[in-house]
């Protein structure tokens, strides 16, 4: 904590605004339960991908769900404001297509559960005041810009403004990649990774995970490919080639990628052990067993991570580092 402050003060490019935001993130450092050097025997889990009001789930059920999964810290990713436009597919994508609540609700919930819950900042990127709205919640302590799940080109001017804002506030941007639906142009995304080296990008969802396989061709009717994986797909290369590209293990797509070819998964987890971060993104009311995709993902990571140290990085350590949790 202290060293962060010293670094912030001495950093010549660290503006006052960045410093204030960074300081608010330091709240996240309190008792995360996965300090470096304490890997073995520590079962703390950070979930970087949950939603409030997800498919209508009540708040008390969310709290119980996260406890049942064994999660100690949760980041809530808000939706943008509800609007009918091309980028929300005339309203279909409002509430992240799952009735998820927005910035103010996530902020208030995190405030009421301070230390256990954190919040992101989000907006429909092609609204004229999108960056102003996002900035408002980053100033209040938002830990990430997410979930970016809109029908828009990944290299549009509007998205580039968001990438710039993320670098300015030193928070990651999490993007839902789904061909012909959300964040278009995955094959061109390397240009953004190069243009915004100070922005941390976290990849998520079907098109992100399907492209671990070199032999996969983008296909909206084949979003959960099964069977053996040939290394060297676009996702594998983005993770390997770009220091600012990370991956979110959440959702059915993340779980499918982990379980479709377990021999490949062991190598993949080893190869990208500093880049992959646990998230659940599950909307069930239970938090355990086969109905809970988040619990299944935790079990897959525990089963397939080549070492205990790597397991701890994936479930906790990488999140702690990327979100500056101390
Ligand atoms: Zn989500
Ligand atoms: Zn669940």
CA of 64, nearest ligand number: 2
Q: What percent of the chain has pLDDT over 90?
A: 86
Ligand 2 center to residue 106 CA distance, Å? 19
Encode pLDDT of 188-203 as tens digits.
Answer: 999 999 999 999 999 9
CA of 69, nearest ligand number: 2
Output the CA–CA distances (angstroms, integers) from residue 64 to 1, 82, 99, 119, 267, in the order listed: 30, 28, 19, 18, 34
Ligand 1 center to residue 152 CA distance, Å? 17
pLDDT the model gives residue 16:
46
CA of 293, nearest ligand number: 2
Contacts 24+ apart (CB under 8 A), 179-184: 179/206, 179/207, 179/218, 179/219, 179/220, 179/223, 180/220, 181/89, 181/151, 181/220, 182/93, 182/149, 182/150, 182/151, 183/148, 183/149, 183/150, 183/152, 183/154, 184/151, 184/152, 184/153, 184/154
Ligand 1 center to residue 9 CA distance, Å? 35
Mean pLDDT across 150-161: 98
Contact in structure between 316 and 28 (CB atoms under 8 Å): no
CA of 66, nearest ligand number: 2
Ligand 2 center to residue 221 CA distance, Å? 25
Q: Is the pLDDT at 171 greater than 60, yes or no?
A: yes
pLDDT the model gives residue 312:
96
Nearby residues of 58 by Cβ (< 8 Å), 6 or more positions away: none
Q: Is the pLDDT at 183 greater than 90, yes or no?
A: yes
CA of 93, nearest ligand number: 1
Confidence of residue 43 (pLDDT cuts 50, 70, 90): confident
Ligand 2 center to residue 85 CA distance, Å? 31
Mean pLDDT across 245-274: 98
Of 146-150, 176-180, 321-325, the poorest mean pLDDT is in 321-325
Of 12-16, 86-90, 268-272, 296-300, the poorest mean pLDDT is in 12-16
CA of 148, nearest ligand number: 1
Ligand 2 center to residue 203 CA distance, Å? 20
CA of 279, nearest ligand number: 1
Ligand 1 center to residue 252 CA distance, Å? 11
Ligand 2 center to residue 251 CA distance, Å? 10
Contact in structure between 100 and 54 (CB atoms under 8 Å): yes
Ligand 2 center to residue 5 CA distance, Å? 37
pLDDT the model gives residue 33:
52
What sign has the CA pseudo-torsion 229, 233, 239, 245? Answer: negative
Q: CA nearest 143: which of 1, 24, 16, 4?
A: 24
Q: Tell me the C-alpha distance between 200 and 314, whole Å.
A: 17
- Bridge pairing between strands 173-176 and 201-204: parallel
Mean pLDDT of all residues belonging to the chain: 90
CA of 61, nearest ligand number: 2
Confidence of residue 324 (pLDDT cuts 50, 70, 90): confident
Q: Is the pLDDT at 60 greater than 90, yes or no?
A: yes
pLDDT the model gives residue 39:
40
Encode pLDDT of 68-122 as tens digits.
Answer: 999 999 999 999 999 999 999 999 999 999 999 999 999 999 999 999 999 999 9
Q: Which residues pair with 277 in a beta bridge?
A: 248
């Amino acid at each position: 904590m202290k060293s962060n402050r010293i670094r912030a003060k001495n950093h010549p490019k660290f503006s006052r605004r960045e410093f204030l935001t960074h300081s608010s993130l330091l709240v996240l450092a309190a008792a995360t339960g996965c300090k470096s050097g304490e890997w073995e025997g520590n079962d703390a889990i950070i979930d970087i991908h949950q939603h409030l009001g997800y498919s209508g789930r009540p708040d008390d059920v969310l709290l119980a769900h996260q406890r049942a999964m064994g999660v100690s810290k949760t980041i809530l990713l808000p939706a943008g404001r509800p609007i009918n436009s091309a980028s929300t597919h005339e309203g279909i994508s409002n509430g992240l297509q799952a009735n998820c609540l927005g910035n103010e609700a996530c902020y208030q919930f995190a405030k009421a559960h301070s230390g256990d819950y954190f919040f992101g900042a989000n907006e429909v990127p092609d609204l004229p005041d999108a960056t102003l709205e996002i900035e408002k919640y980053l100033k209040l302590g938002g830990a990430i810009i997410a979930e970016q799940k809109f029908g828009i080109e990944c290299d549009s001017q509007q998205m580039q403004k968001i990438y710039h804002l993320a670098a300015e506030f030193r928070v990651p941007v999490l993007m839902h990649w789904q061909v012909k639906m959300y964040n278009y142009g995955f094959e061109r995304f390397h240009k953004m990774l190069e243009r915004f080296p100070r922005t941390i990008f976290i990849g998520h969802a079907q098109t992100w995970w399907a492209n671990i396989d070199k032999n996969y061709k983008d296909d909206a009717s084949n979003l959960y490919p099964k069977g053996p994986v040939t290394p060297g797909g676009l996702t594998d290369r983005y993770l390997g080639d770009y220091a600012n590209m990370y991956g979110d293990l959440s959702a059915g797509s993340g779980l499918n990628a982990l379980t479709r070819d377990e021999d490949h998964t062991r190598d993949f987890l080893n190869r990208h052990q500093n880049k992959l971060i646990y998230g659940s993104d599950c909307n069930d009311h239970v938090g355990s067993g086969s109905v809970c995709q988040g619990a299944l993902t935790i079990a897959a990571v525990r089963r397939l991570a080549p070492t205990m140290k790597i397991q701890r990085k994936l479930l906790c350590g990488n999140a702690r580092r990327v979100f500056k949790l101390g």
